[in-house]
Structure 1
Amino acid sequence: MRMVIGVDGGGTKTVGVLVDSEGHVLARAVTESSNFQVVGGDALGRVISDLVNQLLTNAGQRQPVVHLYAGLAGAGRPADRQTIITVLESKKLAKKITVDTDAAAALAGAFAGGPGIIVISGTGAICFGKDRRGEFYRCGGWGYLLGDEGSGYYIGQQALIAALKDWDGRGVKTCLRSAIEQKYGIRSIDLLISSIYSGKIDRTEIASLAPLVFDKRAEGDEAAMNIIASAGQEIGKIIAAVARRMGLAGCSVRVALIGSVFKQRDILIPLMEREACRVVQEIHFMDPQFEPAIGSAILALQQELGLLDETVLAHLAEAK
């Protein structure tokens, strides 16, 4: 039996799946972060090695893996990918090892290895596309200092700005101010500012304000409504930019939605659609077909077997 391993390595956890050549998922395992830029090569090698051993143990398998395909956060630069490959090859985890970005894994999972567009909006926001030639396109995702418009962080940051403008008397009155005061147990603007710039209220904590903004929007708060409208428009813009670069202006496109912000998709979809349809004819929003770890396994199977038939995809779907 020929087996491959698909890995999705992120900033908080690493997910792996062991899959046979017919698409049966033999085991699934989760371990700690494997972001190369955060943990470094040695720790990454240990995490992936432990993950592989756990998968083989869980499946009761000892025979060698023919291909390990790892889609990893922090592996965007070719030099870094080669460093990671060298580390993993030294562990003798599989006959062949491929390292790519976590975005490639997410795209492959969303569209079962085929073309399409994904937009990810959680703490950050980014859009990726893959065309029929296998070319990749990206827009956004430049981090909280330079971009990430439409993300949870963006929504939370704009809420803080709206609250501060209310404090100053230079913006609309907003119940976001009292909600933020209550959330953090503060009545002093100085305490809020010092907590943010000291890192006590960090990027993740700011992003966690997003659900509060959606709640206040539902209550009719003007500032909250403006913030959510802006977030939806910004996500629509990055979708449009990727579609344009893919040569899909005026076409119908499929877009898979990934990330915590899209728990409010019913609110965001009309906003995104209105903006993106300035470029494309129509958008079909969808959930990903498979998780990113399965996406990595699909890419490994495609390299080993070529085009996957419906039977293999059906077997993969049975594990969902």
Structure 2
Amino acid sequence: MTATVPLLAVDGGGTKCLAVFADTEGRMLASGRAGSCNYQGAGREPAALELTRAIQEAKRQLAVSAAVGNKPPESDVESASLAQKETANITEDGPLHVTCAVFGVAGLDTEHDRQVIEGMVREALARTEVTADRIFVENDGVAALLGATGGAPGILIIAGTGSIMFGINDQGKSARSGGWGHRIGDEGSGYWIGKQAINAVLRGFDGRGSHTALTGKLLRHLGLRTEEELFNWVYSAEYSVNKTAELARYVSEAEQEGDEIACLILETAADELFLGARSVMSKLGMATASFTVILQGGVLQNNPLVRNRLAAAFRSVSPLALIDEAKKEPIYGVIAQGLQLLRHGN
């Protein structure tokens, strides 16, 4: 007899993948972690492998827990005892059935992405011998938003190495803006800010722009001597998205010291992020509604100018918006989405 668990929830992010088995109340029964599931960065096969590893580890922990027979809290003996009966037949290498499997996966931006990622999901489930009555796949940003707001109306703005905006209104309709990657987008992100800083240094060197304290700061950080060496670094094998994003901290440092160029870069970053958020508000008809704005990512959490300017922009056009920071991990959003599907079937 194949063992059954109500819910498999997976947060497949660009940094890590977290898979969780949960009961009908959203309580975590077991979890497994692995590396990046973003196929656009890691590659399709490596991403599929990490997804498989996370599910397999969660399944292994579930089997161990079932074998040990962990005792439930006294306040919830009946429901937990039922969960133990459901998981009693689970083995690490045997089949497992879930009523609902929900995946929030990074890199799901287009219909082509959906086809690739849904293929990865089917492959990972087959490899781990997990079957599901229903499978739901969505972008991990939607999961982060639902986890932060508990399913209530809100807009999530992520500005870390990259940037993207998601929104959900009181009818449950969702929309996104940005997230097109470092080559053609990610405005307002750490990478974008670092790239603007390099551009400002080279413009100053040419005489096309004003002198900026960013020159000395960037050269010292990268161990370079001249602007020409900075140019060579940009086109060398040493250059990377992450290393460029690290330069954002020196833009913030220069701004706090009164550098006008650095200040302009950060102000523009905030304005770009708000453009994306305002687009989401417009798509969802939220401008006059009450909702929460969730700010995530290193740029928004560590840079007061960007955060404060963005908050002021929201107050000017949407006075009922509440600016807040996410207090829950994205996996809770995936679980919440799964519970909704279990209870309502849509």
Task: Give the TM-score taking structure 1 as reference length.
Answer: 0.87
**For the residues of structure 2 that align with 1:184 and 1:39, how far apart are their CA atoms?**
26
Match of 1:71 in 2: 104
Q: Determine if the alignment matches structure 1 residue 84 to structure 2 residue 87.
A: no
Match of 1:228 in 2: 266
Q: Determine if the alignment matches structure 1 residue 110 to structure 2 residue 148.
A: yes
Contact 1:240/1:280 (<8 A) preserved: no
Q: Determine if the alignment matches structure 1 residue 204 to structure 2 residue 207.
A: no
Match of 1:93 in 2: 130
> Displacement, 1:156?
0.8
Name structure 2 gaps, 5 residues minimum. Answer: 67-89, 91-95
Match of 1:157 in 2: 195
Between Structure 1 and Structure 2, whose CA radius of gyration is higher?
2
Report the 3-state secondary structure (helix = DSSP H, G, I; strand = E; otherwise coil) of the residue aligned with 1:28: strand
Choose from 177, 191, 197 the match for 1:139. 177
Choose from 52, 56, 59 the match for 2:59. 56
Match of 1:274 in 2: 312
Q: Deviations over 1:276-315 (max 9, x none)?
A: 34532343111224211221121111111239xxxxxxxx
**For the residues of structure 1 that align with 2:307 and 2:40, how far apart are their CA atoms?**
33
Task: Give the TM-score taking structure 2 as reference length.
Answer: 0.81
Q: Deviations over 1:235-292 (max 9, x none)?
A: 1222222112211223343111111112225432321133334532343111224211
> Displacement, 1:127?
0.6
The letter of the residue matching 1:102 is: D
Structure with more relative contact order (C-alpha pairs < 8 Å, separation 6 or more): 1
Match of 2:9 in 1: 6
| RMSD of equivalent CA atoms | 2.3
**For the residues of structure 2 that align with 1:260 and 1:156, how far apart are their CA atoms?**
13
Name structure 1 gaps, 5 residues minimum. Answer: 308-320
Change (3 A) 1:84 1:106: same
Match of 1:18 in 2: 21
> Displacement, 1:231?
1.2
Q: Deviations over 1:129-171 (max 9, x none)?
A: 1122322211122222322211101111111112112222332
Report the 3-state secondary structure (helix = DSSP H, G, I; strand = E; otherwise coil) of the residue aligned with 2:305: helix
Contact 1:127/1:140 (<8 A) preserved: yes
- More moved, 34-43 vs 137-146: 34-43
Change (3 A) 1:44 1:268: closer
1:277-288 matched pairs, under 5 angstroms? 277-288=315-326
- More moved, 63-72 vs 5-14: 63-72
Change (3 A) 1:220 1:172: same
Choose from 47, 51, 59 the match for 2:50. 47
Corresponding pairs, count? 307
Report the 3-state secondary structure (helix = DSSP H, G, I; strand = E; otherwise coil) of the residue aligned with 2:317: coil
Q: Deviations over 1:36-86 (max 9, x none)?
A: 334555544432332122123334242643322111112332423442343
Contact 2:104/2:143 (<8 A) preserved: yes
**For the residues of structure 2 that align with 1:123 and 1:293, how far apart are their CA atoms?**
20
Percent identity, aligned pairs only, is: 31
